[in-house]
Amino acid sequence: MAVATKTVAETCAAARRAVRELGAASTETKDAALGGIARLLGERVGDVLEANAADLADERADGLTPALRDRLALDEERIAAMADGVRAVAALEDPIGEVLDRKTLESGLNLTKLRVPLGVVAVVYEARPNVTIDCAALTIKSGNAIVLRGSHYAERTNGALAAIVREALVEVGLPEDAALLLAGGGHEDLAELATQEDSVDLLIPRGGEGLKRALKDVATVPVIYAAAGNCHVYVHADADLEMARRIVVNAKTQRPGVCNAAETLLVDAAVADEFLPGVLTELRDAGVAVVGDDRARAAAGGVEVGEASEDDWGREYLDLKLAVAVIDSLEQAVDHVNRHGTRHSEAIVTRSEDAAARFTAGVDAAVVYTNASTRFTDGFVFGMGAEIGNSTQKLHARGPIGLRELTTYKYVVRGDGQVRE
């Protein structure tokens, strides 16, 4: 059984012991472990789907929204995509041991700056069991041990996936405790995990603002918040409106339950009357509930638009719901995004290079798009193999957290007897 029955402290200490061996493993050995994970995912599809069906049928999943159930649910295609992601990580260059700088000092000392693993990474996540595999693949390749804490309503699925990872580690002679899974507990267990200063080098929470607030109150270990995505699409006055329609519909409906889906549409007043009736009709036909300000409702062309409250501008719906506002200028759009956004992914649709440049320079977000859907913010899509999450802060990582974001560096200094006078 991959789910840890030890205490949180004992589990983290076991990961700390395992990382010493994993951190020294060769690229070939780590890649072999990843190959084993991909192979076992193919061989154990039935076991994983059986565990997932049990989780979906469990009463603990009864209260999940349709979007969260979609995030929890697996099928053969999604499991195959997990395996593809693992193979993609294996194919990436190993960052460990990379020489970042090398020089000879005035003293004659030879200084080398080397990329090294962080150590033990803990990840707290909700609903999406593919995170179990993505995180394990990235940490194994980067020489880090991982402690995973998933949702209680995905416990069986995460257990089946973590067991695959541990088996693949053992097959190549690496310690199975380099990947450990905690049972989804309460706030007390979360607080204990966030204070394991002797064992945990980095904690990455993947979840909403509630999880972020809970950890901010108690965490004593370093934290990178892969938090909420209140993403915007701004349709500029000089936009290609057909292009804008496709981008807006895709950003909202392609997969609404994920953090890079659009939650707010901003439309320049110069094109609102022409643009909004058509796009709102298509969104309505796709099942999207729309709320808007007075100007958006007036320009809706008969499409039903509810009245937006002040809270709607800051909401991450993770569902088929969208807030719409009509604004007067690019500067007003930038101000709205920076005031209400979560610094995740923002987009402008425009034919004006000047407007695009001003928007991308003015918006404070990890990823800013010109004439493209926000749905592309993803480690796999960005060529990183996978991601542990998408950082909405600026230190130590920003945007998708991949291999290099899971490393630090050390200085190695070689001398021939020098002493400092």
Q: What is the pLDDT along the chain (421 residues), one digit of tens a residue?
A: 455 568 999 999 999 999 999 999 999 999 999 999 999 999 999 999 999 999 999 988 888 888 788 889 999 999 999 999 999 999 999 999 999 999 999 999 999 999 999 999 999 988 789 999 999 999 999 999 999 999 889 999 999 999 999 999 999 999 999 999 998 666 778 899 999 999 999 999 987 777 888 888 899 999 998 868 999 999 999 999 999 999 999 999 999 988 999 999 999 999 999 999 999 999 999 999 999 999 999 999 999 999 999 999 999 998 999 999 999 999 999 999 999 999 999 999 999 999 999 999 999 999 999 999 999 999 889 988 888 989 988 888 999 999 999 999 999 999 999 999 8
Long-range CB contact pairs, 303-310, < 8 A, 24+: 303/276, 303/277, 305/280
154-202 pLDDT, tens per residue?
999 999 999 999 999 999 999 999 999 998 666 778 899 999 999 999 9
Percentage of the chain exceeding pLDDT 70:
98
Closest-CA residue to 66 (of 287, 251, 231, 242) = 287
pLDDT single digits (tens) 298-322: 999 999 999 999 999 999 998 999 9
- Map out the domains of the chain with their CATH numbers: 3-226+388-414 (3.40.605.10), 231-376 (3.40.309.10)
pTM score of the predicted model: 0.87
Residue with token string 């409106």: 241
